Chain A
């Protein structure tokens, strides 16, 4: 096979991903029963949590790739890290937006400074800073090193941010009262709901793998183009 051509396995994965997404969407709308209290808007939940999971997964992968890059100094880990951050950011944003859509009718507000919401926002800002940092560095080697360091530091600060935001709310019960997620808009999943939920998680994980593969491939191709350009210039 010609070098750089799209691998057949990736094409198969594309098709599987699209099929899974179609099935998952159908399950969300037709298979899962309607939640008695919240009604249709509860259906946002399946993709909302799945997107949040993929966001976290992306940032975790970026941190691991950062460690791997610092240890090995292999270019491929830098591409993996950047790819994971980009995908993670998109899904974390989907998570935030779908959450707001759900919160409007259920909590009667688009936004509240609940620990989860706060942490999600700060996480987006951390990785926006990550991209800005990379943009400001021309030397690819240094860009990779700094990116790896910041991906590790940023990921480590996320749980601490969550704890501090939670502690902030528990000591100040003024805001909790009506708006705590456990209190408002909680529900018990029936088995059909649970199946839909699990299927959505699986689907989104596969989407993540598929996108990551595409993005890594893109990164490699971009590297190749860069090298060709350098050769032409010589």
Chain B
């Protein structure tokens, strides 16, 4: 970093690579690119959404989601759905970059590589949150409950951040292998277990109206996971896109 400083000083003030503002602008550009592309094709969100609803449908019959069962398994059903749909989205979002050579274009851009990582992560997070924002009310209507509780939304936000932070890094790796999309869940699920356990327990705690003091350890765990893995992914992302 230090060696780049003089160059950054020489560069004009509004150069895309200078300082925090330049970083944020590069990050925003990557996010915007993803959102704009999605707005036109809508292929990512539609497939994630339809897939989510299908997963819930399968659960409905596999677990016979009657009122008694639902009380205990709702959070589990939700998180399995989010994890599967999220994996689908991560794969697609990275495959688009790889297939059309967009990733090379991104890497050629004179911006910090970590801006690309955070841009892709925020983009993936937005997609995941949109899917979750649609699945929650649909589930609420289908099963006559109210899932739109602030506590649950906080848990989902924290859990999704952890999922996407690791997922974006690992999907960048997975698309560059021979086995491609098959590999992502195999790489992702074993390292995402702490998020899954904590998110499921915290969600069911919120839904069952358990005392906040008992949910807090889970929220802390999610927070710690988010921070550690965002930091690590940020540090190693360079090596994953290096050519």
Which residues of A are interface residues toward B (Cβ below 8 A)? 70, 122, 125-126, 129, 132-133, 135-138, 142, 145-146, 148-150, 152-154, 156-157, 160-161, 163-165, 167-168, 171
B62 to chain A, nearest CB (A): 21
Do the beta carbons of B194 and A164 come within 8 Å of each other?
yes
Bound complex: CA A222 to CA B198 (Å): 43
Q: Give the residue name and chain of the A residue nearest to B233 (CB).
A: A153
Q: Which of the four size classes fits the interface of chain B? A: 35 or more
Q: Which residues of B, 143-191, contact A by the 8 Å Cβ criterion?
A: 166, 169-170, 173, 176-180, 183, 186-187, 189-191
Cβ 8 A contact of B183, one of A133, A142, A164: A133
Instruction: Check B225 for interface membership: any CB of A closer than 8 A.
Output: yes
Q: A149-B236, A160-B221, A164-B198 are in contact. Are A133 and B190 (CB under 8 A)?
A: no
Proximity string of chain B (179-219) to chain A, C-beta cutoff 8 Å, 1 when within and 0 when not: 11001001101111110011001000000000000100110
Do the beta carbons of A160 and B236 come within 8 Å of each other?
no
A155 to chain B, nearest CB (A): 10
Which residues of B are interface residues toward A (Cβ below 8 A)? 166, 169-170, 173, 176-180, 183, 186-187, 189-194, 197-198, 201, 214, 217-218, 221, 224-225, 228-229, 232-233, 236, 239-240, 242
Chain B residue contacts of A168, Cβ below 8 A: 197, 201
Q: A125-B190, A129-B187 are in contact. Are A153 and B221 (CB under 8 A)?
A: no
Cβ 8 A contact of B194, one of A129, A137, A153, A157: A157
Q: A70-B239, A125-B190, A149-B239 are in contact. Are A160 and B218 (CB under 8 A)?
A: no
Chain B residue contacts of A157, Cβ below 8 A: 190-194, 229
A112 to chain B, nearest CB (A): 16
Q: Give the residue name and chain of the B residue nearest to A70 (CB).
A: B239
Cβ 8 A contact of B179, one of A122, A136, A156, A167: A136
Q: A133-B183, A146-B173, A152-B236 are in contact. Are A160 and B178 (CB under 8 A)?
A: no
Interface class of chain A by DSSP: helix
Bound complex: CA A154 to CA B194 (Å): 12
A187 to chain B, nearest CB (A): 30
Do the beta carbons of A146 and B240 come within 8 Å of each other?
yes
Bound complex: CA A142 to CA B177 (Å): 9
Do the beta carbons of A148 and B239 come within 8 Å of each other?
yes
B70 to chain A, nearest CB (A): 19
Bound complex: CA A160 to CA B228 (Å): 10
Do the beta carbons of B190 and A126 come within 8 Å of each other?
yes
Do the beta carbons of B228 and A136 come within 8 Å of each other?
no
21 contacts between A and B (CB under 8 A): A122-B190, A129-B187, A129-B190, A132-B183, A132-B187, A133-B173, A142-B176, A145-B242, A149-B169, A149-B239, A150-B170, A152-B236, A153-B166, A153-B191, A153-B236, A154-B191, A160-B225, A161-B193, A164-B198, A164-B221, A171-B217
Q: Which interface residue of B176, B191, B225 has the most chain A CB atoms within 10 A? A: B191
Do the beta carbons of B239 and A126 come within 8 Å of each other?
no
Bound complex: CA A12 to CA B166 (Å): 45
Do the beta carbons of B221 and A137 come within 8 Å of each other?
no
Chain A residue contacts of B173, Cβ below 8 A: 133, 146, 149-150
A11 to chain B, nearest CB (A): 38
Bound complex: CA A156 to CA B191 (Å): 9
Do the beta carbons of A137 and B177 come within 8 Å of each other?
yes
Q: Give the residue name and chain of the B residue nearest to A143 (CB).
A: B177
Chain A residue contacts of B186, Cβ below 8 A: 129, 132
Do the beta carbons of B190 and A154 come within 8 Å of each other?
yes
Bound complex: CA A161 to CA B229 (Å): 13
Chain B residue contacts of A133, Cβ below 8 A: 173, 177, 183, 187
Chain B residue contacts of A167, Cβ below 8 A: 197-198, 201, 217-218, 221
B113 to chain A, nearest CB (A): 14
